[in-house]
Structure 1
Amino acid sequence: MVGVKRKLTLFMVMTLILSLFIVGCSNTTSENKGKDDNGDNGQGSSETVEITWWTFPNFQALDGELGKYEKQIIEAFNKKHPEIKVNLEMISFEGGPEKLNLAIASNTSPDMIYDAPGRIIDWAKKDLLMPLNDMFPKEVMDDISPALMKQSMVGDDVYMYPFNTGPFMMAVNKTIFEEIGELDLLPLDRPDRTWTVDEYEKALLAVKEKAPDVIPSGFYAKSVAGDQGTRGYITNLGGSRFLNEDYSEVAINSPGGVKGLEWVVEASKKGLVAPGSASLAASDHNDLFLQGKMAFAINYSAVLKSLFAPDKTVEFEDILLPYPTPDGSDPKLEPFLGGMAVFNNDDDKKAEAAKKLIDFIVNDPEWGKKNLIQTGGLSARNSITGVYEGSEYEYSELARKFITDPPTIADGYAEIRTFWFPALQEAILGTKTAQEALDNFAEKANEAIKKGKEK
């Protein structure tokens, strides 16, 4: 009897094992149905990779909703890469930089960021990013100007994929000059629109006299945001450079740089500059212009013109202009450059997934051009032109010839920029002369460059 029970038990165990084996084979066959030999379903790996994409509002908002367009990009991307889940987080230009610093400090960095060289290259120098060299075959490198690639690299390694660009310059409310009958004071009849500081000052005086309710021009010195506008303005007003040509030390405390800052100080005293500019932020300056309360904005570009369009509270025509120079010679314009980078979060699969998203945003046959237009910028590629219609975009393309090397790639730049606005405040408030303020800035900035080289 005992033997029979043992045989029965053994039979039941064997039956159970056999049934589990059959179920297992059935599931395996079902899971592999339609896959190729590599376990791929023809749309990428079946294993889901989850990445986080942080971005400033680099694309124009759809229906006034930030992030709506970015979500459309992700939806289109997932049709080609369903195996990659993208978590989007929108960050603001005001609080975003600090949020990024906190994320880096706490080892919770996003996998991908869409930003500008000022921060991206600083992170690269701190070994926080993944190199993107494998995304840059020779035909791509040759299609991007050396000035833009220089902003995207540290040594021989590429850390930012350049996407949209355009020279930073000024803008004027053309409508105001039409209303006061002084349109001929603007250099709009010149193909390159170059002009002198004296011509610019005459235009400002005309606004002050004939449109007393309008502030002639703007300036700001409250925080680091928009520092490129104040740099470009002052260096061109005095015919100077911000740093010397090899980025080894500050050049803005030269006679030309001092002359440029002195002009701003004197113009403030004459009422040609927005009052209280020492306590205005770049966003305050922008608001004055977009509200039609100020004739000239000193920090503009084709990209910003497009992004600012929904924020206009009155209708007027904003026209791009280069910064004036003492003798009307060609200005030196820093390039706006937006691009994407991948943080090194010690996960190769996430890094590769992030690179696929970058490639889709920039190079997809359908979405690449669509995404570029949504930024309002020109393409970083020399071969991609004529994307837009309209005189201002045509002028922005022409003004590319004025692009110069920006100081953002200098060693220690992240620290350098923190000393810049206090120096401007000191000069505007009169606590130091322009020379004293710039010499003090140079001393601190040169030390930051030195420390940056030693790291």
Structure 2
Amino acid sequence: MRAMKKGLMTVLGVALVGSQLVACSNTSDQNKPAATQDAQKPAATQAAAKPVEITWWNFPNFQTLDGEVGKYEKQIIAAFNEKHPEIKVNLEMITFDGGPQKLNVAISSNTAPDVIYDAPGRIIDWGKKKLLAPLNDIIPADIKNDIAPAFWKQSTVGDQIVMYPLNTGPFMMAVNKTVFEKIGALDLLPLSRPDRTWTVAEYEKALNAVKEKAPEIIPTGFFAKSTAGDQGTRAYLANLGVSRFLTEDNSKVAINTENAGKALDWVVKATKDKISVAGAASLAAADVNDLFLQGKLAFTLNYSPVLKAQNVANKKVQFDDVLLPFPTLDGSKPKLEPFLGGLAIFNNGNADKIAASKKFIDFVVNDPVWGKKNIIQTGGLSARTSITGLYNDPEYKYADLARQFITDPPTIADGYAEIRTFWFPELQRALTGGATGKEALDAFAAKANDAIAKAKAQNQK
């Protein structure tokens, strides 16, 4: 525990892009993890078990019921207690704005929750600091083989699984289809193509059509105020410039190419030409998405099936929001980062709490009734390859198809928590005229590469 406490005192926080849930299917009792088999025993059998109390901290990953934050989560706990009345689960809802810092404080003061539902950006960092309990023993072979290797890379540190993958989906752009219908320019969108891929030239033509025919609408957005939503900007620039953010082995930065530099220059010029939002250096991802939900923005950069579902209640005007991949310079296939939500357990030194937490996680993910129900409540796709067709919606069918474009995200890189803090300051420099696109990306690469090297050396100790 000394090493554990030392690790807890040194954790650094990072911002999150919101993340999500879940995977499930019926499996034979022989292949199910022990927690699942225990959960299926009658409540009377479980009543004699040793009472345990655990704490679950959750970001608002599920859509609310009746507008009440946490109401759905309480229903999960009630259903879990029908099978495990001996385990009391204390729920605490945290926000995407203040939650990360609250977690940092809890970890540094040795008061971390038992269970957290989060994303790889933080969870892998905690795992590398040996703050989490391994989950290998509750994931049977049939489930492990049903989840793509790319997702396991985001859930594993060494040979230890530290996050149970739950729900997923590709991060993409979204377009206000209603705007293009009103201006008679729907043919400028790649919606007639099954994979919806398109070029930067086609994208620019669509932006200029909005500027000309709907001057009250901002054609597209960009943002550089904070780390939240950074996957939107890095994927945008990487695809516009037909580049990668990091090398395939995540050992160094790859986005400081000539083409990516020109892509950032294009964003700066687009702002001056009034086809991209003004003041991007002082806008956050949430600000840009709010403009989109107000019907004031034709394209937004940081979207996903989950956000599409969650935003139904947040639209200020009614319009049809449609998912699109990022355009590429030459029309090649885009590279989309996946969001991935999952559950992890902090190793707080209590074996009974860890065992109880594993039973709770297993219920959330694999219960025959609540597993799929939980996925749908997040608006995401299942992390399990075999679980599809959860929604009768063409946009979800497209999101399933767009899985083919998913690439490894940089969240698993050594030093990711520090890497992302260097990204937006350099974007701001370019947007405010302090550097060319290439100069800004080179400066970012120098700082990020140093952070990667230092973190890798530290993690190897």
Please give the TM-score of this superposition, normalised by the length of structure 2. Answer: 0.89
Return the offset for 1:243: 0.5
Q: After superposition, what is the alpha-carbon deviation per residue over 1:41-93, rounded to whole angstroms, capped at 9, x for unaligned? A: 51255322111101111100111111110011111111111111111111111
Give, in angstroms, the shift of residue 392 of structure 1: 0.2
Q: What residue ranges of structure 1 are gaps of 5+ in the alignment?
A: 1-39
Residues 300-326 of structure 1 show CA distances to partners (whole Å, capped at 9, x for unaligned) of: 111110112111111000000000001
Between the two proteins, what is the percent identity of the paired residues? 69
In structure 2, the partner of 1:429 is 432
Alignment of 1:283 onto 2:286: yes
- The match for 1:148 is 151
Q: Could you give the per-residue CA deviations for residues 214-252 of structure 1, whole angstroms, max 9, x where no partner exists? A: 110111111111111111111000000000111111111
**1:388 counterpart residue number:** 391
CA deviation map 1:22-56 (0-9, x unaligned): xxxxxxxxxxxxxxxxxx95125532211110111
**Residues 167-176 or 257-266, more deviating:** 257-266
Structure with greater contact order relative to length (CA < 8 Å, sep ≥ 6): 2
Q: Which runs of 4+ in 1 moved over 4 A?
A: none
Q: Distance in 2 between matches of 1:337 and 1:73?
A: 20
**Does residue 324 of structure 2 align to residue 321 of structure 1?**
yes
Partner SS for 1:148: helix
- 1:115-145 per-residue CA deviation (whole Å, 9 max, x = no partner) reads 1100100110011111111122221111000
Question: Any residues of structure 2 matched to 1:251-290 within 5 Å, and which?
Answer: 251-290=254-293
The answer (yes or no) to whether the contact 1:251–1:257 under 8 Å persists in 2 is no
Q: Are 1:293 and 2:296 matched, yes or no?
A: yes
Helix, strand or coil for the counterpart of 1:336? strand
| Residue pair 2:175, 2:299 contacting (<8 A) in 1 also | yes
Report the AA paired with residue 181 of structure 1: G
1:130 aligns with 2:130: no
Q: Does 1:74 align with 2:77?
A: yes
The Cα of 1:275 is off from its aligned counterpart by 0.9
In the TM superposition, residue 354 of structure 1 has moved relative to its aligned partner by 1.0
Shift of 1:265: 1.2
- Count of matched residue pairs: 416
Partners of 1:441 and 1:288 in 2: how far apart? 28
Distance 2:266 2:56 in 1: 43
Shift of 1:259: 2.1
Between the aligned partners of 2:265 and 2:148, the Cα distance in structure 1 is 34
C-alpha distance in 2 between matches for 1:315 and 1:41:
50
Uncovered stretches (5+) of structure 2, i.e. residues with no partner: 1-42
Q: Is 2:56 the counterpart of 1:47? A: no
CA apart distance, 1:256: 2.5
For 1:438, the equivalent position in structure 2 comes to: 441
Q: Does 1:109 align with 2:140?
A: no
Tell me by how many angstroms 1:437 deviates.
1.1
Alpha-carbon shift at residue 340 of structure 1 (Å): 0.6
- Secondary structure of the corresponding residue to residue 240 of structure 2: helix
What is the match of residue 342 of structure 1? 345
Of the candidates 353, 356, 360, which is equivalent to residue 356 of structure 2? Answer: 353
- Which among 163, 166, 183 is matched to residue 163 of structure 1? 166
**Is 2:426 the partner of 1:405?**
no
**Within the alignment, does 1:228 sit opposite 2:231 as a pair?**
yes
Contact in 1 for aligned 2:261/2:436 (Cα 8 Å): no
Paired letter, 1:70: E
What is the CA-CA distance between 1:260 and the residue it aligns to?
A: 2.0
- In the alignment, residue 413 of structure 2 is paired with which amino acid? A
C-alpha separation between the residues in 1 aligned to 2:72 and 2:259?
Answer: 44
Secondary structure, aligned partner of 1:42: helix
Corresponding residue number in structure 2 for 1:375: 378
Partner residue, 1:185:
188
Cα distance in 2 between the residues matched to 1:296 and 1:204: 9
Please give the alpha-carbon distance, in whole angstroms, between the structure 2 residues aligned to 1:41 and 1:411: 47
Per the TM alignment, residue 108 of structure 1 is displaced from its structure 2 partner at its CA by 0.8
What amino acid is aligned across from residue 107 of structure 2 in structure 1?
Answer: I
Q: Is the 8 A contact 2:223 2:285 kept in 1?
A: yes
Aligned positions of 1:20-59 closer than 5 A:
41-43=44-46, 45-59=48-62
Assess if the C-alpha contact under 8 Å between 2:268 and 2:430 holds in 1. yes
**TM-score normalised by L of structure 1:** 0.90
Residue 294 of structure 1 aligns with an amino acid whose one-letter code is L
Once residues 263 and 91 of structure 1 are traced to their aligned partners in structure 2, the CA distance between those partners, rounded to angstroms, is: 38
The alignment status of 1:208 with 2:211, answered yes or no, reads yes
